[in-house]
Structure 1
Amino acid sequence: MDYMDRGLRYTPTTGKDWENSVQFLPASDNKKLEKKKGPGKVGAVIGVVVLAAVIALMTGLLVWHFHFRKNVRVKRMYSGSMRITNQVFEDAYENSNSSEFQELARQVTTQLKTIYSKSPQLSKYYVDSTVQAFSEGSVIVYYLSEFSIPAGQEAAVDNAMSSMNKLSRTLPRPGDSLVIQDVVSSVLDSRMLSTSFSRYLRHSVHTKPNYIDQIQSPGFPNSPYPPNTFIQWQLRAEPGYIIKLYFDTMNLEKNCKNDFIRIYDSLVAIESRVMEELCGYFSPSEPLTFVSSGNVMLVTMATNDQKNYPGFRAQVSQIKRGSRETTCGGLLTGERGLLSSPSFPNFYPPSMSCQWSIEVPAGKVVKLTFLKFLLSEPGQENSRDCRKDYVEVDGKKLCGEKPDGTMTETSSTNKMSVKFFSDTSYVDRGFNAVFEAIDMADPCPNQFQCKSQSCIKSELRCDGWDDCGDLSDEQNCQCKPESIKCNNGMCKPKFWKCDGVDDCGDGTDEIGCGGCKSGELTCKNNKCVSEKKHCDGIDDCGDGSDELNCARNTEIQCNELTYRCKNNKCISKVNPECDGTDDCGDGSDEQDCNCGRSMFTRSRIVGGQDAEVGEFPWQVSLHVKSFGHVCGASIISPTWLVTAAHCVQDDGRTRFSEPGTWEVYLGLHIQRKIDSHVVKRNLKRVIPHPNYNHYTYDNDIALMELDSPVTYSEYIRPVCLPAPQHDFPSSSTVWITGWGATREGGSAATVLQKAQVRIINHSVCNDLMSGQITSRMLCAGVLTGGVDACQGDSGGPLSSPSGNRMFLAGVVSWGDGCARRNKPGIYTTVTQFRGWIKEKTGV
């Protein structure tokens, strides 16, 4: 019985009492009020028939409920493993067709039946068992058991199965019986029993030392994986070795409910041994490398009937047990040192337990700072008791996901104990940490000590940013003149004023903003009207803004705020472009929507500023020939780029306005590293905006035409161009990217950098920048403190997320390119130039 070949089977009036004392008024015609005669014989017969039908129906329902429903059975499969301690593994046990395999499998199924017979909950529902595989460890057997359970009794059987290990120990021990230990069992994931599967494939791979095997989805890389298919790969290593699995490509449908890969620290799909579930598209810069705890591993893949993708390819090798990737712990001494979970930054193995003893010179104490800390499991993201994987520092358990460098532990003596534990299911990337010897009397020399015991630069105190991660550096502050003084004693950057977000926490930064009273709607022209007038069909604001974003996407009078369809119909919906809904009726709002999407699954690594490979595939690097990177740009079509006009202004030495001056690199991630997916192009034309003002940077936008079209790939894609009416409101978060300097006066970044920023209120920014902000500029400030955000690059994109797409909100123009803390960045507003772009490029 192969469980993959067996799909699920299914066995297929209130009354009202009237008051008794009803008073009748006298009438002139008493005959009209005489009581009518009864319904007659025909009516009586009909009444009896209806009553009998109702009684029969009720009786039938009751009989079904109490008799037949209890016979509705649910097929339930349990997968498990057990260790046979009085047997020695033979090579023939790898072959399920060998007589040795079949004989031992027969003994196992007989013993399983005996074990189930000891439980009343299990014996009466048990159907059959099959042995799926054997592996070393005396002999470990992997099995599946089928039960036919009355509907509603599933939980009771689950509980009984959880006692399998206890049941096995109560068996008598005849001389020829199998001696069993370490019984593990759990209900099989129902997705693996889907009745929709039309193909079942099984592969076995036995790796050898110093050799790399390869597994991949069917058809990879030339065709998509097949639909409605279940595949499993049983991976084995030699005794004394463990499995290493490295995915160099992972491209599945994003929804794991449809297509998914599951990896098990086992040879059968035991839920308590699942290491990870994968779907979506992962960047090659985010390695997917897994290590088993023993010499076996199972990879499963399931697909449905829709949206099949290229699939995956992975390398399978083996590592000798006891090597550096499989061990951790030990004695660490000295003034400073490093420690990390096994295999870091790859996923650590399951079933690990390590202990470090750290000792620094006498008179000092140990300070441990976690540079990365990623120990999170599904369903345990906010767990405080750390019942799954954890790090324990001097008896204090730590788990979850923490921002880089914000978690610090300090000992009370010159010694510290650090333990790492991972259970049998779900692994993560783990941690790396640095320990150092510090003077307890002065733990942060010339720095500020946070409540978390971490140290930050003294100048970061009371600057409006939560550098400590616990706000301790922003409490009891004397605010600087360039900051907002909140009523609660905190300080906040002035460019957060009047953006509709309560940054202070007490509303101080949103006071005196000229907003409307409660119950009133603020129009785009700052007029106040009653909220009741929203979507009433009347232009109460005078600019039509009170008739936007109505519940029903109605056709309204066209104005500068409304979206105009190709059929010249204007609709009330704000930003309808490429949202998956045909709002116009002619599909024009959903045209040209092959844009603004990153193919790769977003990294969950916290606090990093390096972008992932392919995360911003519209980012372009503009090089001056024989010099290198100078400016950024954005792809808007196979032949056109958008950049800043000031990037193409001639100076005394270089003709930046000439196409021949430039080389264009598309798909680039690391400067001077030209991978196979990087495309180099020359330019055919450079078109700066005719009204660009090099004194004020007004109209700072330019277009570049490539000398030949580029083919899109997962690394090269266009960003979506917004409609002229597209709204990028204050306080919305956007992304800035580039290879600019990462610190003041520093050299340019090698790896593409990213920073999340927030759009700043236009009038507030204009005040901060002494009236230099025109209607064709927008401002943005960095969202998070505590990190040096990239300065970005002139001409690069300001990318605004909308649904699952990114729109080009702005072009990096002047100020501090990536809007570093307390210094807003100024960007060219793309919506103001949408007509000009269309005129010149046709895009």
Structure 2
Amino acid sequence: MIFAILKVIVHEEFNPMKPINHDIAVLVLVRNIIFGAEIQPVCLPSPDENFPSGSLCVALGWGRIEESGPTSNSLQQVTLPIVDHDVCMRAMETLGPSATFRTAVCAGFPEGGKDACQGDSGGPFLCPRSHGSWVLVGVTSWGMGCARSWSNNMMLPLDKKGSPGIFTDVKKMLKWLYAKLDQAESSILSPTASCSPKNQILTGTTGTLKLPKYPTRYYLNNEECAWTIYVPEGKHILLTFRHFDLEFDNFCDLDYLAVYTEKGSLIGKFCGSDRPRPLLITNNKVKLKFISDFKIYRTGFSLFYEAVEPQTYPDSECGSVAVISGEGEIQTMNHPEKYRNNANCKWIIICPSSFRIKITFQVFEVEPSIGCVFDYVLIYTDLVGINVAGRFCGFYIPDPIESTSNVMQIVFSSDSQTGCKAAPILPMFINQSITIAEEAIPNSWPWHVSIKYVRKHICSGVIVSETFVLTSASCIVQTGQFRDLLLVVAGLHDLERSEDAQIGSVKEIHVHPNFVLLTMENDIALIELKEEFQFNDYVQPVCFPLSDIIVEPSSICVVSGWDLNGEGETSTKLQQQEVPIETDGVCESYYGTISESMVCAGVAKGQDTCLVSI
């Protein structure tokens, strides 16, 4: 796409005679850029974001591919390390006093060989964040030659000397850049409140921090605010968010509230409209910083702080995120009694920057499952939650874990199931086939039940609790009006033998209100029983998936039932079969359109059908 330029805004302090400083400009286009898969805006750095010397970053451009050489017809990229500021300054001083700078970042190799070149000026110099996004750290500005060595400049004549690549430091230009980019339209909803003074001290045993303050509704763009909260010596701080509404992005790099320890270590960054959980700071001092960029503004936040007594076991009830500075001990809620379902606990442990953290487990009893997908302890060595040090469940005490930095994050999660766990009798597969069903190990699928009408097996279901069974609506909708003739039988392997069986009569049938028999849309129903199942090795509830679990196409799953042989054949013994998840496209080629409430699994049989459709 080609755009005409409406206006050029050059930095007011740029001097063409000394082009290294304030070498930046904004081009205002005559029409808006339409973003899509091939055109996206770049991420700007946060005011408190740093990329240390040695960080590998990338310069892009269509400039010369070598000094005095031809320009490129295709976009080129070169990876360069950031050079320490003092090292760069010493190299630049060999070129003369006019070559020093205040608003640039340097990158390159002392021996040369790789560099941006003529024609690349104005292009991006990008560094990757830890979570993978790229941020505009610099704008290509200047260099002595292209890819020359600059390690021995003192020994060379001026026309042979080199320099690191010089890029305008975008972070140092942010205030100017935001002012030029701010596109907020004036209206009665425009924000008018800023945080003043910029660094506020809040003391006492309780208090409230609001941004913006009443009666203003919105915070300003281009803000940078800071607060320090002190409570009496010997107390800890509990931060409770009463309102939270900031611009959202996945990693909170635009507008955000950052929380730091007394020593300046980052505890967390928060954005969006979901209120963060309370933060329990095991110290009497905490620092907060609010940043907003030039684009979207919202209604801000309100938090209540209070001094609380130190706890022996921080966050044992999982009501808050516990931030622990120094040594300590943590535990799940109710320990040594059983923990609760639906737990979502988090501890952040921070030590001085020169130290590392070691975690030693003393007691460990967490519901076991393959892959630890239901209840688990998850340990990260970062705050973002990318670098996983371990994921644990079961009854074996994990080995001690040491961090790679001064930060460690511990997450404990339990699902919603009462007694949901791995089958006491493990399933086995003899055939190892995705086309042939085989007899299951007896009672290895203890949640699978037979639904009988007039004591004859008509379809299957799964136990979800002591009094509820999940099945398909198509299975039950036609016989549901005769529920007194229905029975649910659990603990079965052989339909003709019932030594371990438990039989339940039907109290109520709950069919999905949007079930459509013609299309099988929302084909699901719950059967409510009059009597409770008694869970044992043969009768167990099934586990539900977590909301963030995605089953990818080609994943191998298992179906079980008494009628997997197809063509109306029914076995008296429970059968099992491994089946691959199919893509929606493959499924639709056999069945036509499927909806978002469906998943397809199985393998093609001939050219006209799939073995299993779920």
TM-score, structure 2 as length reference: 0.35
